[in-house]
Amino acid sequence: MGQYAINAAAGTYAQLQQFGLVGGVSNTKIGITVQIGYNNNQNQIFTPENTETVVDFALQNSYISFLSYWELARDHPILPDFPQNGPDCFAYSNGILENSCVSQGNLEFLHRMNRFNSPAGL
């Protein structure tokens, strides 16, 4: 899923270039927002490792100025009363997730994204 986010950002930038909206007086910047964990389709899973891929891309491309994710309330480990594997967790929640349904630490997506968003790149 990380590559999907990268492809979307790179494709958006390429289209802006085609329309002449990049360079010169235009200081075009693009933001990337991902949906963490299981997405609306349980075959689409954005993992903490995908975050690293997207952050690396953002750090290498100056036209990326913003990274975010949906949503902070989901950025914690699978809740104790939920099935502990991703597909069952997703099914149990009826697609309305109260956690990411992936193996992760508390606020792990936030901490990984902060490597891009923090002033010192930490």
Quick: pLDDT tens for 3-22: 999 999 999 999 998 888 88
Q: How confident is the model at residue 31 (pLDDT cuts 50, 70, 90)?
A: very high
**CA Rg, the chain, in Å?**
16
Average pLDDT over residues 110-121: 80
Q: How far is CA 73 from CA 32, 42, 60, 79, 122, in A?
A: 19, 19, 29, 12, 23
pTM score, two decimals?
0.85
- 8 Å CB contact between 101 and 93: yes
Rounded Cα–Cα distance for residues 72 and 49 (Å)? 17
- At 118 the pLDDT is 65
